Structure 1
Amino acid sequence: MRILFVSTSLAIALASAHAQDAAAGGMAFQQCAECHSPGTGDGAGPGLKGVFGRRAGSKDGFEFSAALRKSAIQWDDKTLDAFLANPQKAVPGTSMAFGGDEDAKERADLVAYLKTLK
């Protein structure tokens, strides 16, 4: 019985460690706001309203790199996480200057925040 309790506690701790927090993601987004708007307006990067579920490089009115347009990526939890971790590795040749975020929890929170931009 004790082993089951420890295993259950460990599972809960691991799940909590990777739980997404959109509010924390909103705070993490501040580093993105230099180039990206949470709305539809473009800056150095495209506005991110509606990014979740959209095909990469497809937002009208923004000139994306050929690499991103040709990537055939659909933005979801997995693809956004990989791109935010290392844009150049995820899409070699992308013009995104951001070097990546090594913090898996921060990326998960940021993805949760991006989901709210509908």
Structure 2
Amino acid sequence: MAVFAANLIAVVVFGGRYYLTGNIETPHKEQQQLVEVEIEDSNQTIAIAAPVEEDLSDYVADPEKGRKISGKCKACHDFSQGGKHKTGPSLWGVYGQKIAHHTDYSYSSAFEAEKEKGEIFWDDTHLNEYLLKPKKYIKGTKMAFPGIRDAKDRLDLIAWMKEQK
């Protein structure tokens, strides 16, 4: 009887997965590779983790494209030197800074908690992960922006943000 019950459970689990997804394989985490990308007209690089399937080996990040992509952020953030905070904090000079570094801005409790840990500095890796899926990277963030899916767009934006200092 116990063997029958175990077999029935296996059929329900695997059969249900196949019925819902058409796939009986166990889902796996996407494999990542470390990618180092040059920045156009600069001797700097950006190093991020990217999906293995995505070939970025010959890509050169373009800060000018990044400036245009930053338009997605400008409804809530100011990128100008000395710019005022909006719904979100000013992002001038954010590259290389500790998370939640502005003392005159009221960050969400999620950002304040990350600041207390002292582990996040806005470098290539952290910016890339945050820009991909903000709500997944900082659970509890108030930022409504869904993220930038295209790795090249994120690289271009990070290249431009490096220049804003």
TM-score normalized with structure 1 length: 0.83
Greater RCO structure (CA 8 Å; 6+ sep): 1
For 1:16 and 1:69, the matched residues in 2 are separated by 38
Mapped pair 1:85 → 2:126: no
Q: Which has the larger radius of gyration?
A: 2
Q: Report the counterpart of residue 19 of structure 2 in structure 1.
A: none
Mapped pair 1:48 → 2:91: yes
In structure 2, what residue type is equivalent to 1:30? G
For 1:14 and 1:44, the matched residues in 2 are separated by 34
SS at 2:89 equivalent? coil
In structure 2, what residue type is equivalent to 1:66? S
Structure number having the greater strand percentage: 2
For the Cα contact (< 8 Å) 1:53–1:75, is it kept in 2?
yes
Count of residues in correspondence between the two structures: 105
Deviation >6 Å, runs of 4+:
none
Give CA-to-partner distance per residue, 1:28-80, whole Å, 9 cap, x none: 00111111111231111111111001111121211111111221311000000
SS at 1:74 equivalent? coil
For the Cα contact (< 8 Å) 1:58–1:69, is it kept in 2?
no
SS at 1:109 equivalent? helix
Q: Report the counterpart of residue 8 of structure 1 in structure 2.
A: none
Structure number having the greater helix percentage: 1
Percentage of identical aligned residues: 35
SS at 2:61 equivalent? coil
- Which residues of structure 1 form unaligned runs of 5+? 1-12
Give CA-to-partner distance per residue, 1:14-40, whole Å, 9 cap, x none: 4223x2211100000011111111123
Q: Report the counterpart of residue 9 of structure 1 in structure 2.
A: none
Q: Report the counterpart of residue 75 of structure 1 in structure 2.
A: 122
Q: Report the counterpart of residue 26 of structure 1 in structure 2.
A: 67
TM-score normalized with structure 2 length: 0.60
Mapped pair 1:57 → 2:100: yes
**What is the RMSD computed on CA atoms of the aligned residues?**
1.3
